[in-house]
Chains A and B, each alone.
Chain A
Amino acid sequence: MAAANQDNSRPQNTRSIMVFLQAHAPFSNMDDDHLAHFAEHSTLRFYADGDVVLAAEDGVVNRFYVVKQGRIRGERHNEKADKTETTFEISIGECFPLAAIVGERPTRTLHRAAGDTFCLSIEQDAFITLISESEPFRDFCLRGVSSLLDQVNQRIQTGAMVSMGSSISLSTPLDRYALRNPIVCTPDLPIRKAVALMHENNVGSIVITDDNRHPAGIFTLRDLRTMIAEDTCSLDAPVRQIMTKSPCCLPATADAFAAAMLMAEHHFSHLCLVDENNCLIGMVSERDLFSLQRVDLVSLARTIGTATHLRTLVSLRTDVSRLVDAMLAHGADSGQVVKIITTLNDVTVRRVLELNIQKNDPGIPFTWLTFGSEGRQEQTLLTDQDNGILFQTPDGMTEDQVREKLLPFARTVNDELAECGFTLCQGNIMASNPKLCLSDREWDDWFIRFIDASTPQNLVYSSIFLDMRAIFGPTDSLDELLAKVLSRIQKNALFQKMLAGNAFQRKPPLTMFRNFRYVTDGNKRSLDLKRQGLAPFVESVRVFALANGIKSANTLERMDDLAQAGVFDIKDANAWKDAYSLIQAIRMRSHQEMLERGEELTNYIDPDDLNPLDRRILRESFRQAQRLQQKLEVTYQL
């Protein structure tokens, strides 16, 4: 009742402004008193379509605005193209200018009303009062939209955490998890004494160091078990004979994610932590990292990597999905999670290949290639096969003779991968297709034709074949091939322009009025997060990467490399990475939800199902895709 009485003492118009503010972040997290302070100190202004709201000439910004109705467009003049670009759009409930008012400087962007617009604003005094008294407001103003992204990520994590009951973050520096001053011994110590030392200290491993405290090897209880079972060594032999030499080391500043990935890839259960002089300072075991989890990445990767039957591999796929939940819960961002999925998929593919070689060795060395999302290391739970084979023709054989041996083998592998959940590729982009089981020379010819004859079909293929990676077999021949392909593309301006034009076709799903543009899919309003959301980033970034000789196939890594090469502005690259990751995160979360409901996985979502914050950030992410495409447009004069 007290609250109601207090509320009545506020004028109706103050209350209605508070209600308006409450529907939007960051105000939704602010106390009533702070909202009232905002409302009571605000003025409401009107700007007709095209009116300038704020300009650099106005000098140091002394008001903070919230759009109450209509839209504000940010404009900057692009010197290179000599035209005005829209850098951002601000719609109902959103604030501006943040950086300028916090930095007490003039705005660098012309703010113009797009459509008839009303803005609430407060003067600097009230702004300072709120900044100093309201934590959510301060957080928002100082960190801008990225604080909203954090909120979204936090919610994704809490959602996944319900089933996990843990709050350890994978981004935490490794030394938080590490055992300090691990048990060490010299290489000459007899195994018996080393085991006694482990027993006394109740640990499962011992690090063998040299005189300078550099890790020389590691010995674990698992090694002891193998040693006794296989009777490989006497207990009186020095430990150096049985230890795993050159153990995996990471600096203490590396995060838990890096450690988990390294362990999963190499099937290690222990890592050494070293300082800048490579001296041992600690030790991390997989159990330290995953003590609270039911499914753990490292043991899952190991189980997959050592499975002896196809049906074991098939049954392990459900664990992969559970792991994704766990990873989201442990604070992995979407970029990390897709890499984990890709790592586990790689392990599965490798194991299927190994099992088939054991059963029925084609007798010819080959490199297993993956294309498209798997090539980019961007797989999610919904994934199909895009693969091929690269081989070197042995002396005395023709290429067709090699294919005769490899194709039946590839057919079995494709079918078995399908059983493991990698859907057969509808376009037959698979190693069992004779056109994709080629020698190094044939691949090179194939790419020459591909790049020279820029047919529409080739452009469709560009999103598949230009994102390529080897996951099994020797990699040298692929490296050579890639280097040739990259240098050809760098020299071929026409091909680049065709690629750019193709990438430009894929428009983010926003209308002119900054609403979502839906795909027509019966009655349901839906967005295709993959084709409409992610593809504009992936395709545009690929063009820039190939044109600038960037070797990585991963979209986030390509953006990092492009920023480092000075092709992308660092701030732009970060904004684009954030936007891309967010769309990916929303896509993965919706996959997990579909899986939970036993539905078939699709990339479609109805934005009405999202909360307002997610919707707004999704919209902003699509805006970033538009900006990236604008850069493409300017660079290639499309």
Chain B
Amino acid sequence: MLEQIKQWIARHRAGQSGSIAPENTPTPKTPGDQLLSECRLIVLDLETTGLNAGKDEVIAVGAVAINGGAIDLSDQFDLILRRPELDITETVLIHGIGPEALTQGHETEDALLFLLEWMNGDPVLAYHSAFDQKFLEKTLKAELGYTRNHTWMDVADLLPAFFPDALTGGKGLDHWADFFGLEVSARHHAASDALATAELTLIALNRANKSGLKTLKQLHDKLRYHRRLQSIHGV
């Protein structure tokens, strides 16, 4: 990962790929007739200094890509952003990231540009995605002035939509991971949580395929429908 981003930065600074302006990053894609069995999906998890998007900051970004229905471990993102100026003592215990690790991080701007380039405008999935979306969009805007919107989908909605009868005992990532017997190697590590979320996504996509859902748009619509049902029932 370190090598990868160093090379990327070196390449861009040398001007080989033209400007590294945010507007030159790939355009976010909208859900259309892309086949779920072929398209690329990003599954992402952020670690932050706290839960308040107004004042808290992103510490680390972990993400994996689902390519053609499989998690591709050669296509992953695992970076700690540089935030030495932040007081992070409150959340250090949850995430296991101390100030030393943060100072080894990368210059935020470079890292975020690299992230945008890596995301390639593909749809993003996350567990309780509203949280990650808010933090990421806020950070992209503050650091890069980037305001374009990616397509986000919430895995916390995806699972109950396809497994309405599952007795998980709760709505958290841990509940679903336990329900499917997943082993999460290092819980609360961004990359590790992203992988667990991606594994749950694979399970949901397998079910989606069997129920005849083939395209990204069909999946997106199904999620919207599920959310509306939920709000009608006031759950």
Contact = CB atoms under 8 A, between A and B. Distances in A.
Interface of A: 9-17, 19-20, 39-48, 51, 69, 116, 118
A152 B206 CA distance: 39
Given A11-B78, A12-B192, A17 B73 contact: yes
Contacts of A44: 70-71, 73, 195, 198-199, 202
Contacts of A51: 206
B185 A46 contact: no
B199 A12 contact: no
A193 B105 CA distance: 92
Nearest to B192: A12
Contacts of A13: 62, 64, 73, 76, 78, 185, 191-192, 194-195
Given A40-B74, A43-B73, A48 B206 contact: yes
B228 interface: no
B135 to A, nearest CB: 20
A47 B70 CA distance: 10
23 contacts: A9-B1, A9-B3, A11-B76, A11-B191, A12-B185, A12-B186, A12-B192, A13-B64, A14-B73, A16-B186, A41-B74, A42-B73, A42-B74, A43-B72, A43-B73, A44-B70, A44-B71, A44-B73, A46-B202, A46-B205, A48-B210, A116-B181, A116-B203
B203 A16 contact: no
B46 to A, nearest CB: 14
Given A44-B70, A48-B207, A16 B78 contact: no
Given A16-B192, A69-B181, A11 B207 contact: no
Contacts of B3: 9
A247 B147 CA distance: 97
A364 B71 CA distance: 81
Nearest to B62: A12
B168 to A, nearest CB: 14
Nearest to B203: A46
Interface residues on B, range: 20 to 34
Interface in B181-196: 181-183, 185-186, 189, 191-192, 194-195
Which 4 A-B pairs give the minimum distances between C-beta atoms? A16-B185, A46-B202, A11-B78, A44-B71
Interface of A is mostly: mixed
Interface of B: 1-3, 62, 64, 67, 69-74, 76, 78, 180-183, 185-186, 189, 191-192, 194-195, 198-199, 202-203, 205-207, 210
A39 B73 contact: yes
Nearest to A115: B181
A423 to B, nearest CB: 47
Point out which of A14, A44, A116 has the most chain B C-beta atoms below 10 A from its C-beta: A44
Given A13-B78, A14-B76, A40-B73, 7 more contacts: A9-B1, A10-B1, A13-B64, A13-B191, A43-B70, A43-B74, A118-B202
Point out which of B62, B195, B205 has the most chain A C-beta atoms below 10 A from its C-beta: B195
Contact of A47 (B71, B78, B194, B206): B206
Contacts of B199: 44, 46, 118
Nearest to A16: B185
Contacts of B206: 46-48, 51
A118 to B, nearest CB: 7
A463 B142 CA distance: 82
Nearest to A15: B185
B68 to A, nearest CB: 9
B167 to A, nearest CB: 16
B124 to A, nearest CB: 17
Given A9-B2, A12-B191, A13-B191, A43 B71 contact: yes
Contact of A116 (B62, B71, B180, B194): B180
A42 B74 CA distance: 7
A561 B211 CA distance: 54
Given A13-B78, A44-B199, A48-B207, A19 B185 contact: yes
A16 B62 CA distance: 14
Nearest to A69: B181
A255 B78 CA distance: 58
A9 B104 CA distance: 11
A225 B131 CA distance: 97
Nearest to B1: A11
A208 B176 CA distance: 83
A35 to B, nearest CB: 12
A17 B206 CA distance: 22
Contacts of A42: 73-74
A48 B70 contact: no
B143 to A, nearest CB: 23
Contacts of A11: 1, 76, 78, 191
Contacts of A116: 180-181, 203
A20 B185 CA distance: 9
Contacts of A14: 73, 76
Given A11-B191, A46-B206, A41 B73 contact: yes
A39 B191 CA distance: 15
